[in-house]
Chain A
Amino acid sequence: MESRIQDKAETLRLPPILDLKAAAPLREQLLGLRGKPVELDGAEVQRLGGLCLQVLLSARDSWHNDGLPFSLGAASEAFDQSLSLFGVHADEFQSSGV
């Protein structure tokens, strides 16, 4: 939890199961955080599916477009492994803002 991002980044705690059912709610949650720096907390994640990956990646791009920080804080081993499996490196997940 070393990457303290500027001032008051909102932490979004990700649920354990990020599957098909979780994609739409996750998107809604993130939309609600637009305009604010966001740090994801993936400590509890047990499973990450393709649809939620899309949402997270799209969010990263969207934040990047806005020039706002978007980062991954804590991540469970499962979360890390899932990201690598999808060909995503955890550090690609950061958008430090401009």
Chain B
Amino acid sequence: MSMTILTVDDSRTMRDMLKMSLLRAGFTVVQAEDGVHGLEVLQEQHADVIITDINMPRMDGFGFIEGVRGKDAFKATPILVLTTEGDPEKKARAKQAGASGWIVKPFNPEKLIDAIRRVAA
């Protein structure tokens, strides 16, 4: 049984890249296009790890993370945020919202898998 990863990103390009990298690494991938959609998906889909963008329409990554952590079922689900900046404030804010870690864009597949490995039980 492979792990299921939920990716939340408004950019199709980024979703496709994540998907390709993750599928190649043997993960199952579920996608959502923004925070609101991500929360909807989580009502029906299990995810072992969540990867989310920060800048998104409707509901940004911070709102999404808080929404996820607000649900008992997902308290222990690792969440990685995608960030382009080496911005400590943004990382700190994501952590405060409940993120487990981050992936700096542009990422390569190894970095991505490494990051997942560091949070996924």
Tell me the B residues contacting A by CB distance below 8 Å. Answer: 72-73, 75-76, 121
Given contacts A19-B121, A21-B73, A47-B121, 8 further A-B contacts (CB under 8 A): A19-B76, A20-B75, A20-B76, A21-B72, A21-B75, A21-B76, A49-B76, A49-B121
Chain A residue at minimum C-beta to C-beta distance from B121:
A47
Contacts of A19 in B (CB 8 A): 76, 121
Tell me the A residues contacting B by CB distance below 8 Å. Answer: 19-21, 47, 49
Interface SS of chain A:
mixed
Whole-angstrom CA separation of A20 from B75 in the bound complex: 7
Chain A residue at minimum C-beta to C-beta distance from B73:
A21
Contacts of B72 in A (CB 8 A): 21
Contacts of A20 in B (CB 8 A): 75-76
Report the minimal beta-carbon distance from B119 to chain A, rounded to whole angstroms. Answer: 12
Report the minimal beta-carbon distance from B59 to chain A, rounded to whole angstroms. Answer: 24
Contacts of B73 in A (CB 8 A): 21
Whole-angstrom CA separation of A49 from B22 in the bound complex: 25
Report the minimal beta-carbon distance from B60 to chain A, rounded to whole angstroms. Answer: 25
